[in-house]
Amino acid sequence: MLDSDLAVLYQVEVKRLNETVKRNIERFPADFMFQLTQREFADLKSQFVTSSWGGKRKLPNVFTEQGIAMLSGLLNSKTAIAVNIQIMRTFVKMRQFALEHKDLTLRIEELEHYLIQYAKETNIEIDNINKAIDLLLDRTKPAKIGFKP
């Protein structure tokens, strides 16, 4: 989960949440928390409407299930504790669902593989169409239009 999402749930400022993490950084190894890359953040931003004048100045931190559990020990407000319990229950339900519906997981993976392959093939076809259009629009070669006896 993103630091900003957790801050909203815990009812704290993102800045305060990240300050708490910084003061306890040894509790957050890479498999508990990581920072998005510039490209990942750009991809994420393209999914949401953002203001042109505001927004994040720093790349967001992302917390795994273990990172959220660690964070719960550092944020001791009643709200943070209650929210964390709900998040942990949600993770457990997601894991149970995934285990109970392995067939869906396999089908989703197959669909993802198919879509990736389809996208590759479609891009090749689009590239060929674009090349043909470029050839047709090439103004450096004289146009051969009409009938010549």
Supply angle C-alpha 6, 18, 14, rounded to 5.
50
Name, in order, each residue with C-beta under 8 angstroms of 98's C-beta and a sequence gap of 6 or more. Answer: 105
pLDDT digits (tens, 9 = 90+) for 106-134: 888 898 888 888 888 887 788 778 787 77
Q: Which amino acid is at 20?
A: T
CA dist 69 and 85 (Å) reads 9
Look up residue 2 and give its DSSP letter: B
Q: Three-class SS of residue 74?
A: helix
Boundaries of every domain in the chain:
3-100, 102-137
- Alpha-carbon span 21 to 1, nearest angstrom: 14
Query: Mind listing the pLDDT tens digit for each residue in 81-100?
Result: 888 889 889 989 988 988 88
1 within 8 A of 59, measured Cβ to Cβ: no
pLDDT digits (tens, 9 = 90+) for 14-61: 999 999 999 999 999 999 999 999 988 887 776 665 544 455 668 999
Q: Tell me, yes or no, if the pTM score tops 0.85.
A: no
User: What's the length of the chain?
Assistant: 149
